[in-house]
């Protein structure tokens, strides 16, 4: 029997399928199906993280909800490993697999904006650049990621942090509803007044409960331009600068967003950088930026007005598709020098100048919703840190991974709290740390909606 008929099951076995069953499956689909050796297969199997090199048995480019249902039914019937791919930005490579089926949602790109009602109806194949461009035509936006080629689906299902989070909340706080196909093939509408348990679970629970086929977002007035203030200091003074800046942020309005970072300048200098973004009026923006101008003597300083869409693209090339990525992340309660100083020391010795350490400020509107109201459990944590090695050459894989692990191991004990969208392949205890006290309820709901754990290629919540 042809190797093209052999699939990996979720039991860890290989299973040969009857060619007639595969033919019937292909015939039932409207979308394209690629197998190893087909034209375009290698391009279709590529994902954002260049360290991920997997070979699915089938790649199905879904065109319709019916395609999604057919793929789920086929994988369920034959117990085949199933990976669901929106934008393909999973650090751990969960949007692809070896020997299984990749359900690629990229062709599902319908988008409608209702400016009068301030709503956007969006399909899961869209990227944030698509959604931002359409909503900004009306001076509207919803919290999205800080990289515009990220898919809307994965980011939304995991919570959704971005430049607007302090001002208006997480992405899930403005998702009015979602259509989702669960493991039994049923299309469900999850909303505050419909399938409320599922609605709760997919507000932070990731891809554990089904395949989202549509989202409805509530939009907020933003832009079309925002103010950006960037300044950088020698990395050796990071702890002092970040500590002072943190105090200033605590007194700043929610319209001021901030990301601190260790990065390397084009001249090769490691720096401690601050990026402050204000969506407020010119007068309030000037008042918000003013205290930060007294932090010290920066090696770089710039204030600009840019379109909101340009802000959203600011990190696109830094985190370009196909580069190699490996990282660690966590939530923090404060920018403790015991955390900042070891990371600054480690960053000064980073083997790749493309690598970053990011500190994203939350708080503000993120904390306005009770922790138990959504599956996203860590609203009370004001900072999210990510140490991210970025490099190009596969020969440097071990060097960069070792650098991250050594840097992370030098830190003191951190809160058992991590953003699920920034987890690598780190085991069940770290998944539990992403959900904290919400994990047990999520596990019970997983048993209800996906008892066989068909949707396991994710930061997996095991059925109770």
Could you tell me which residues are beta bridge partners of residue 274? 231, 260
CATH value at residue 360: 3.40.462.20
Cis peptide leading into residue 298 (ω within 30°): no
Report the run of H or E that residue 247 belongs to, with start and end.
Answer: helix 238-250
pLDDT at 262 over 60: yes
Are residues 155 and 181 part of one domain?
A: yes
Residue 270 and residue 290: Cα distance in Å, rounded? Answer: 25
The DSSP bridge pattern shows strands 101-104 and 82-85 to be parallel
Are residues 378 and 263 part of one domain?
A: yes
82 to 56, 183, 403, 457: CA distances (angstroms) = 9, 11, 32, 7
What sign results for the dihedral spanned by CA atoms 424, 317, 383, 217?
negative
Give the predicted TM-score (pTM) of the model.
Answer: 0.94
pLDDT of residue 160: 93
pLDDT at 314 over 60: yes
pLDDT at 42 over 60: yes
DSSP state of 202: T
**What is the side-by-side strand order in the sheet with 324-332?**
300-307, 225-234, 270-278, 256-264, 356-361, 383-391, 324-332
Are residues 179 and 135 part of one domain?
A: yes
What distance lies between CA 266 and its chain's CA centroid? Answer: 27
Nearest to 418 by CA among 92, 190, 51, 49: 92
| 410-462 tens-digit pLDDT | 999 999 999 999 998 988 999 999 999 999 999 999 999 999 999 999 999 99
Residue 291 is assigned to a structural domain of this protein: yes
Collapse the DSSP code of 74 into the 3-class scheme (helix H, G, I; strand E, B; otherwise coil) and give the result.
helix
Residue 464's CB: how many other CB atoms inside 10 A? 14
Residue 460 is assigned to a structural domain of this protein: no
CATH value at residue 90: 3.30.43.10
Nearest to 85 by CA among 131, 138, 34, 125: 125
Are residues 178 and 316 part of one domain?
A: no
Are residues 394 and 248 part of one domain?
A: yes
Residue 408's CB: how many other CB atoms inside 10 A? 17
Residue 429 is assigned to a structural domain of this protein: no
Residue 194 is assigned to a structural domain of this protein: yes
Are residues 418 and 338 part of one domain?
A: yes
Are residues 178 and 42 part of one domain?
A: no
Are residues 60 and 31 part of one domain?
A: yes
Are residues 298 and 217 part of one domain?
A: no
pLDDT of residue 282: 84
Domain that holds residue 141: 111-222+439-449
Are residues 381 and 255 part of one domain?
A: yes
Give the number of domains in the chain.
3
Are residues 369 and 235 part of one domain?
A: yes
pLDDT at 286 over 90: no
Residue 319 is assigned to a structural domain of this protein: yes
pLDDT at 144 over 50: yes
143-168 mean pLDDT = 93
Are residues 165 and 137 part of one domain?
A: yes
Residue 252 is assigned to a structural domain of this protein: yes
């Amino acid at each position: 029997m042809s190797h093209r008929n052999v699939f990996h099951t979720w039991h860890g076995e290989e299973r040969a399928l009857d060619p007639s069953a595969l033919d019937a499956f292909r015939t039932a689909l409207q979308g394209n199906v690629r197998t190893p050796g087909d034209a375009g297969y290698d391009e279709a199997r590529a994902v954002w993280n260049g360290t991920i090199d997997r070979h699915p048995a089938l790649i199905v480019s879904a065109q319709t909800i019916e395609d999604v249902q057919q793929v789920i039914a086929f994988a369920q019937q034959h117990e085949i490993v199933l990976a669901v791919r929106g934008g393909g930005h999973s650090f751990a490579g969960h949007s692809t697999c070896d020997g299984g089926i990749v359900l690629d949602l990229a062709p599902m790109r319908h988008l409608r904006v209702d400016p009068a009602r301030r709503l956007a109806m969006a399909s899961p194949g869209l990227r944030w650049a698509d959604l931002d461009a359409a909503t900004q035509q009306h001076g509207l936006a919803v919290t999205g990621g800080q990289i515009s080629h990220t898919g809307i689906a994965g980011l939304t299902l995991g919570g959704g942090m971005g430049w607007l989070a302090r001002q208006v909340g997480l992405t899930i706080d403005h998702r009015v509803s979602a259509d989702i196909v669960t493991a039994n093939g049923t299309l469900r509408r999850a909303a505050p007044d419909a399938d409320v348990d599922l609605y709760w679970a997919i507000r932070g629970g990731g891809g554990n409960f089904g395949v989202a086929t549509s989202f409805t977002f509530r939009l907020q007035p933003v832009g079309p331009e925002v103010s950006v203030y960037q300044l950088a200091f020698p990395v050796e003074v990071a702890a002092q600068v970040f500590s002072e800046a943190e105090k200033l942020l605590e007194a700043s309005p929610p319209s001021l967003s901030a990301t601190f970072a260790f990065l390397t300048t084009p001249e090769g200098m490691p720096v401690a950088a601050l990026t402050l973004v204000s969506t407020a009026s010119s007068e309030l923006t000037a008042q918000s930026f003013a205290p930060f101008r007294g932090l010290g003597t920066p090696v770089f300083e710039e204030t600009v007005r840019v379109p909101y869409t340009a802000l959203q693209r600011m990190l696109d090339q830094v985190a370009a598709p196909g580069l190699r990525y490996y990282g660690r992340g966590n939530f923090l309660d404060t920018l403790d020098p015991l955390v900042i100083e070891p990371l600054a020391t480690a960053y000064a010795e980073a083997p790749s100048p493309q690598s970053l350490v990011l500190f994203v400020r939350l708080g503000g509107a993120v904390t306005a919703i009770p922790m138990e109201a959504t599956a996203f459990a860590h609203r009370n944590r004001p900072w999210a840190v990510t140490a991210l090695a970025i490099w190009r050459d596969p020969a440097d894989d071990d060097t960069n991974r070792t650098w991250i692990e050594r840097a992370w191991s030098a830190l003191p004990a951190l809160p058992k709290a991590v953003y699920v969208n920034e987890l690598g392949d780190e085991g069940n205890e770290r998944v539990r740390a992403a959900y904290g006290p919400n994990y047990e309820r999520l596990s019970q709901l997983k048993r209800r909606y996906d008892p066989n754990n068909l949707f396991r290629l994710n930061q997996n919540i095991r059925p109770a």
